[in-house]
Amino acid sequence: MLINIALAFVLPWIFGTLYLHPKNRRLLPLVGTAFCILAIVINELGSYYGFWKLRTSLENEALEALPFNLGVYPVLASYMIFLIQRIGKPHFFILLITLFTTFLEGTYVHMERVIYGNGWNLVWTFFSYWIPYSVIYLYYRYLVSLRLLH
């Protein structure tokens, strides 16, 4: 659990607050919070249906997933939107962040910290990240239309 807290929560938030927050103070609260919600819903559904399981010493797997849901996932989504704001090319950055997140999870699968079940694999994992990152991009476009983000 402590490794997950350090790698999936503390480290991403250090990079998020030191680099992203000073450049755009609205990005992390608006995009990060929305992605937290998506991550929690998707992780709970995947766990409930037995698609994946975190190897944990805790009885409650949701607690073990919190560092990911509140850390690395929202910060990566915020970085994705930051890069889209700065450079453009939304499809490229959605794909890039999706591949990166899939690689991170693949590392956890390889280390047997995440165990797949019911036919789940890294291809399905890719789509389980690609869809929410795409939804966050649409949400970002909506925030731009409201003039909450530029």
115 forms beta bridges with 53
For residue 57, what pLDDT is reported?
72
Domains identified in the chain, total number? 1
For residue 150, what pLDDT is reported?
82
Q: Is 150 exposed, middle or buried (0-12, 13-18, 19+ CB in 10 A)?
A: exposed
Q: Global pTM?
A: 0.94
Interstrand relation of 114-116 and 52-54 (parallel, antiparallel or unpaired): antiparallel
For 15-54, the pLDDT digits (tens) are 999 999 999 999 999 999 999 999 999 999 999 999 999 9
Length of the chain: 150
d(CA 126, CA 131): 9
Q: Which residues of the chain have pLDDT under 70?
A: none
116 forms beta bridges with 52
Residue range of the domain that includes 109: 1-146
CB 5 within 8 A of CB 13: no
For residue 84, what pLDDT is reported?
98
What are the structure tokens assigned to 77, written together? Answer: 């989504």
Dihedral angle over CA of 43, 63, 100, 108, nearest 10: -100
State the DSSP H helix or E strand holding residue 135, giving kind and residue range, or none if neither: helix 122-145
Tokens 């249906």 map to which residue? 49
